[in-house]
Structures are given as structure tokens and as C-alpha cells.
Chains A and B, each alone.
Chain A
Amino acid sequence: MRVSRSSLLWIGLFTVTWMLASYGKSMATAADMKWLIKYPNAWVFPLKDTISDMMRWLVEDAHFGLFTFTEATRALSWLIEQPYNFVRALFSDGFDRRIGRDAVQIVPPLSWIAVLAGVIALGHYAKDWVLAGIVGASFAYLAVFGQWESAMVTLASVMIAVPIGVGGGLMFGILAYRHPLFERLMTPVLDLMQTIPIFAYLVPILFMFGFGPVSALVATVIYAMPPMVRITTMALKAVDPEIKDFGVMTGCTTRQMTWRILVPAAQQSLMVGVNQVIMLSLNMVIIASMIGAGGLGFDVLSALRRLDIGGGFEAGIAIVILAIAIDRLSQAFAERSTMYVPTNSGTSFVARNPRTVIVGVILVIAMGLGQIIPFFQTYPEGQTLTTGAFWSDAVKYLNINYFDQFEAVKIFFLKGFMLPIKRFFLGVPWPWMIAMIVLIGWRFGGWKLALMNGLMAVFIVTTGLWAKAMITVYLCGASVIIASVIGIPFGVLAAVNKRAGRIIGVVIDTLQTLPSFVYLIPVVMLFRIGDFTAMIAIVLYALAPAVRYTEHGVGSVSADLIEAGVVSGCTRMQILTRIRLPLALPDILLGVNQTIMLALSMLVITALVGTRDLGQEVYIALTKADTGRGIVAGLGIAFIAIIADRVIPASARNARIRYGLEGGHD
């Protein structure tokens, strides 16, 4: 009886909320209490000015005795710049003697043939000829489609950002593993690093590290490092206690224990973290290019500014190809690190390192010939292919012939789906909404979650961001619903049909690594500026976890249970709806949770088409170089994300308990 009473209570509360959303405004106006709907400007706490002032003090006045804060950050900046300049010269620019107009190139950049041979050899070394072929074809694509030079610049940034991200992540992760207090301090910091949009802290980074590629690298590292920290701590904790005991028995020091025993034992899990750092770094290339990283991201941006859709698409695909090549390579290395490879000691260097020798020979020959025949140095521009016109024409064809149909679909969704949600969120008086958020926190996570939810919601109100935050919630909410409606069935399909699963996997991978800016502009052409366009962009980007988690959940239902279903005469449909789906529910919920996270991280990009949410606030702050405004709005987005991130797993846990997958007290 208790269950039904509590669900009755929730239905009642929701009805009250709905009524308030519909009639609250007129009631508040009638009672002369408009502050219930619109938080008065006079009550706004000027936190953003405080932050801006602090930043100014830090950059202009802060002093550590011997040197200023700015000098310290600039020194760090110089330190990062040196290896970056070296790698960039090696792959893209070449080494110059003297500077400026009188520059004489003493060593040209690596010949494209040599790089190609190098990556093929790496592929073969890491796994087999299949991988070598994939990686080789990817790099050949970059050369043939005229993306080589930009791709090498991007590769150079990735090659610097990834080691820093991995190294830093490993350090923080180990610290968190050793000191529980540090771990507890680190957790909220990591949450913020992953949820505050990069645009929000771009301005302070520019102040501290100066203009140029280093700032872009720092921003990339901040964004890409958190998964590495989390995975390191987790992996170290998961090391078999027997291995640890073995270390203790042999009398290891703490240092030996960490580097000789724990880290090698956890290597395979750690490589997952490395892989994440690589993929997130490549996700950053567009934003990094806006502040001086150049490369493929810049090509995408500048192509779309002149509405060269094909050009933007090709550069975008080049990013995808590069990401896939590096991803497959790093995964192969992860697998390889657990295999035992016998070393044939005693033979000559050539016999032991055949690939190194072959690549070395190719390098020397290609670079030598390159001095005489340019083809060996740089892929000739005249030989490049382009499909640019095709993409522009395709969009034009759709636009001219099917615009009315697109328009009809859009109006249908706007009127029947998006606008009601928007009115709901903007209509509910903020004190009531906060009460609801606290109540939900209490229901799923006890008083701690309730308190946290309350504080975060109050922060959003008191900084004057409530209306924009509600538009954010509406836009993300609508997108997440659509993404789930599309993604979950595809996830189920991928789980029950292997071949469909493979195709869906490729599509999802592409959607995630293709910079969203590439498809944002064609979508604007077909659907005009507005919330619907923003929603399409968010759905495309945030679809992936809904598909993947569903696939994983449905696919990993234990075979015994399915057999039990078959034995008791279930049809395939019944097995799906009665056994697979209910048991996969917790996974699906976690997938939805991740979809929300991605949707929120996409907001700043949709601000580029003209939404009026917190993403726009962050974007305005960026273009006005207003540190405080950006950080406050960024925190607003982060808090929405964190509330969702805490409430949904808590409810997923409830679901698991209900289906008896986990012991519980409820």
C-alpha cells in the first residue's frame, strides 16, 4: 500500500506544478507578487563582478615574493611551448635557421611518405596487417584529400596535450588513491572540470597563458584529463589484493609499490583512460583553433564562415579519420600491453627491430629524394581530390526541393512538443521549482542530496540566471527526450542484430567525433535559426550514449534468464519486453544520464546559432572577455548537470533494487 500512496503523492505534486506553470503567472500578477515568476534584478548577488575583480588582481597584482603570478604562468607557458614548437616543426613547418623573411629551412618537416610508413609500421607493431592497413589508409586519405598540413598541425597539438593529460591524470589519480581525503576534495573538482563549458574558462586561460597554441593546449588538457584521473583511481583500487600482498611481502617501498606493482598491474584499465584523453582532445580541436591552435579545426571554422559547406565537411571528416586512426592504434597498444612478447635477444639490432630499420630507411630515402623531387617531400597540391561541391549541391538540392516539408515537420514539433515544455519551465514560480528539486533529491538520495540540490538551485536564482537556466533545462530536456526515443530502439536493434550493430556503431562514432559546427550550418539552412535547429544539433551529438548503454544493457542480460523465458514459451517480442528491457533499465537510465551530460556540453555550440540559454550567456561572456560572467554562467550549467547526474543514478539504483539486481533497504 505504501508504494501506491507515494506514487499518488508524486502525481499530485506534478499536477500542482502543472497548474502553477499554467496559471501561476496570472495569479502572481493579480496578487502583485511578480517576483514569484521573475526573480527581481535588485536581489541579484553580484558574484560575477567579484570573480572578475579577483581575476584582475591575480593577473595584475598577485605576487609570490620573488615573482608575480603572471610570471609563473608565463614560465609554465614557455615550458609547454618548447616541445610543442619542436613537434610542430617536425611534422608540419620544418626547422628554420634565422627567423622571418630571411628564414632558411635547415631541415624540412618529415616527408609525408615517411610519416605514412611510420604509422603503418606502428599499426603492424601494435597488432597486425589489418590495423596497419586501416591506419595507413586513414593517413593516405589525409594526403589525397589535401588535409595533410592541417592534420599534422592538429596531430602535433594532440601529441603534446595527450602526454600532459595522461601524466597529470596519472599523478592526480595516484594521489587520490593514496590519500582518501585528497580523493574527496578532487571529486567535486573533477565534476566541475567535466561540466563547466570550455568557453567559460577560456578568457582567464588567455589572461594567464597568453595568446597562442599554449592556451589552447591548456584548455584541452583541462577538458580531457578528468576521465584519466577517475580511471586511474578506480583501476588502482581494482588491482587484485593478492598482487598487493605480494608487493608487501617482498618489502616494496611505497614508490616501488606504485610504479613496479600497481601501475603495471592496472595497465589495461589505464589504457582506457589514455584512449579517453585522446578522443576528448580531438573533440577540442575546433574550440582550440578559435584561440590559436590552427590546424583542421581552423579549416572547419573558416570554411563555414564563407559558407563553403563542402570544405567544412571535408576538414571535419579529416578530424574523424584522424580520431579513428589514433583510437584504433591506442586500443591495439592497450591489448598488446597484456600479451607476452618474447624478445629475441642475442640477434643483431636489424633482426630485433625490423620495422624501425625499414621506416628509418624510407625516411632517409624520402627526405633525400624530396630535396630533388618535391613529390617525396609534400603531397602535390594538384593531385588532391575534393568532394566539396557534392556536399554543397546536396544541401542546395534538399533546400530547394524539400524546404516546405522540413518546415511542416518543424512547425509540428515546435507547436506540439517544444513550446508546451518551454511554457511549463518558464511558468513555474522559482520558489516552487526549488522546493520540487529539493524534494526529488530527498526522495532519491536522502537529506544530503536534498541539501546539495537546494544550494545549487539557490545559486542559480541568486546570480540572476533563473530564466536562462530554465530555457537550458527545456532545450536539453526536449532534446534528451527525442534522443532517447531515437537512441533506445537503435540500441536494442544493435544488441539483437550484430550486423545492424556494426553499422550503427560506425554512425555513432562519426557523429561523436565530427565537429558539430560542420552540420550546424547546413541544419540552419534547412530549418532556419531557432530552438528547433539547436535541438537537432543537440540530438545528433547526444544520441551516442543512449544507443551504447542500451546496447550494453540489453546485450548483457544473462543467458540463463533468456533461456528461462524461451523454456516457458515466450515469443521473441515477449523476451524483449518482459525480460531484456526491464533488466536493462538501469543501464538505459545511465545512458540517458550520459545523454543529458552531452546535451548540456553541447549548449555552448548551439549558442552559435542563436539560442537564449546559459550557453549564450557563456558565449557572450567570451566575446566580451568577461571572466566573471562566463564562470558564473558556466557554474550554472555545471550545477544543472550535477543535479541531473546525482538524481538519475540514484533513481537507477532504486530501479535495480526493485528488480532485485542489488540488495537494498527499500
Chain B
Amino acid sequence: MRHFIKNTVVTTVASAFLAGAAFAGVESTDPIKLTLHDWSGQLINTKIMGSILEEAGYNVEYVQADYIAQFAGLKTGDLTLAMEIWATTGQEALDEATASGKVVNAGETGLQAIEEWWYPLYMKERCPGLPDWTALKECAEAFSTAETAPNGRYVGGPVTWGGFDDERVEALGLEFDVVHAGTDAALFAELESAYQRQAPVILWVYVPHWAPAKYEGEFVEFPPYSAECYSDPSVGVNPDMAYDCGKPRGPIWKAAWAGMEDKWPGAFSAVQAYTLTNAEMSAMVGDVDLDGQDIDAVVANWMSSNKDRWSGWIAN
């Protein structure tokens, strides 16, 4: 056994030198560490980026990390690249991290995040005015459960997502109780359960996600978001209160360790160039989560059918 270990160490050391020679083209053979979270879209996004970097000759390592906690690792360089920071949920953390100077915003992924109140299509029959939000004022009871009646029941995201739904309900005079799910999984478990029974439900849904592909439904149309609507009570339909509008929509950012640009300049420019579209992403997420395809297979498929695109990103 001891000989075996010794041999392995020797081979590892030797291979490090060999690898150095083999990749004369790239700036550093140290692995670029990409973070993985636990939703398929992010895994696909990250694995595509990783595959592109590998094609360019870089070494890539995937690290499982928590969505917000990963910023601690990005600051120190333990982690190199996070592929999905949603403007809707991660903006605060991203701004804080970039302000420290240790993390840089590597631009948009091309994906646009939408987060809003969402209902299955069968609820439209029970509340005909939808998707306009004013309809909710009339038919809150259609969304009620035994615990909340006569108020409607709205399932919001985890408190950590923010979203100001409690404030929104009050500002818009909606007779709804806001119930916060603890996690994403619990949120969609509520939807699945209600959808199976065609029972009343209205909840926080975001895209890109597999849910709108699996369940038929629509987003509620609130008065459009503006920064003033959130900060200034006098703006919006309710002159006395803020948050009398919908949720902000925004890009999904890429965030990188500030040292990445110096260490792997070529890789960094590829990361900056990389973009996908919502349609592409939704299709791939559907393939994985609804059709049960393997993530690596879906990624490989994208790589082979988009060779021209990604070759352009790594060319310069």
C-alpha cells in the first residue's frame, strides 16, 4: 500500500510538469473553479461554460457551493467563477462583493430573470379578470384556504429572497395572507400538490425555471416596477405607500474572482463574451427536469450544435 501511495504522489508531481508543457497555449494550468448550485439551469449554464473553457485548453474544476455563501470563496480566490447571480435575488450580495474590490461583475449571461405572482390557468375561470392585478381585489376568496379564509393565500419565496410581498399586499389593498416557503423545493411542492388537485393556488414563480413549462399558467400583471415606486410612497397607484407595483426584472449576472483576469486573461474574456437566451435555457432545463435527460448529455448536445458561437468566444 505504501508503495502505491508513493507512486501516486510521484506520478501526480510528474504529471503536473507534463501538463505544464502540454498547455503552452494557456496562461495557467491551475484549475479554474466554477461553482455549482442545486438547480438544473445553473448546472447547465456552468457546465457549458466549463466545457468551453476546457476546449480552450484550461483546466476546470466544479465546486458545490451555496448561492450566497459562495461570495466568501469568490473574494479569496478559493472559487473563480459563479455563472448565475440573479439581479432579483443576488444583487445585494453581488454589489457588496464588487464594492470590496475582490469580485468583479463579468457581465450579463443574456438570461433575463422574471419573478412575479403566478397562477395556474384553471384559476382564470374562477377569477375572470386575471391576469390584471385588480382582479385579485375582487376574488381573493377564490384563493383562500380553511386557515386563511376569507383572505386569499399567497405562497411567497423564502424570506431571504426579499421581494416585499407583505408590503405589496398592504400597499395594493389586497386581501391576501402571505405565507413564506422555506426553500424553493417547498414552494414548488405546493404548486405540484395544488395542480394535481386543480385546487386554488397563487405563488411566487420565477423564470428561467422548469415550472412554467410543466404547468400551464400566467404571471399576474402588476403596475410595472420602477425604482421610485419602491422608494417613494407618493409614486404609484397608492399615494401613501411604497411597493405598490410589481417586482423588478433584471439580468442574470456572471461574477468572477477579481484575480481571474490577471491569471487567466483568455478565459476571462471568454467568460465575458458568453451569452445564452431565455428560450435556449428553458428548452434545456425542460430536457433535464421534465424529460429526465442527463445534464452532461444536454450540455454536450449544445456544445456540438453551437460550435461556431463558442469558438468565437475563445478566439480572442
Contact = CB atoms under 8 A, between A and B. Distances in A.
Interface of A: 86, 95-102, 106, 202-203, 206-207, 210-212, 289-294, 298, 301-302, 304-307, 396, 399-400, 403, 407, 411, 414, 520-522, 524-526, 528-530, 606-611, 616, 619-620, 622-625
A314 to B, nearest CB: 14
Interface string B179-191: 1111111101110
Contact of A100 (B58, B182, B199): B58
B15 A528 contact: no
B185 A207 contact: no
Given A100-B60, A291-B64, A609-B186, A306 B210 contact: yes
A608 B69 contact: no
Contact of B8 (A86, A623, A624): A86
Interface string B258-294: 0000000000000000000000000000001100000
B189 A608 contact: no
Given A307-B185, A530-B179, A625 B190 contact: no
B300 interface: no
Contacts of A206: 69, 72-73
A102 B64 CA distance: 23
Contacts of A399: 193, 196-197
Contacts of B14: 97
Given A206-B69, A530-B179, A211 B79 contact: yes
Nearest to B294: A381
B196 A400 contact: yes
A210 B60 contact: no
B59 to A, nearest CB: 3
B281 to A, nearest CB: 15
A60 to B, nearest CB: 10
A138 to B, nearest CB: 25
B185 A304 contact: yes
Given A211-B78, A624-B93, 16 more contacts: A98-B15, A98-B22, A99-B31, A100-B23, A101-B55, A289-B64, A290-B38, A290-B66, A291-B65, A291-B66, A307-B189, A411-B147, A610-B181, A610-B183, A619-B160, A625-B69
A521 B72 contact: no
Contacts of B40: 302, 305-306
A173 to B, nearest CB: 29
Given A292-B65, A293-B64, A100 B189 contact: no
A210 to B, nearest CB: 4
Contacts of A520: 186
B197 A400 contact: yes
B19 A102 contact: yes
B147 A609 contact: no
A625 to B, nearest CB: 5
A212 B63 contact: yes
B45 interface: no
B18 interface: yes
B184 A619 contact: no
Given A98-B18, A292-B64, A529-B155, A609 B182 contact: yes
B11 A106 contact: yes
7 contacts: A102-B23, A202-B69, A306-B289, A307-B189, A521-B185, A609-B181, A623-B68
Leading 5 A-B pairs by shortest Cβ distance: A100-B59, A610-B182, A525-B193, A211-B73, A292-B64
B202 to A, nearest CB: 13
Contacts of A293: 64
Contacts of A610: 158, 179-183, 186
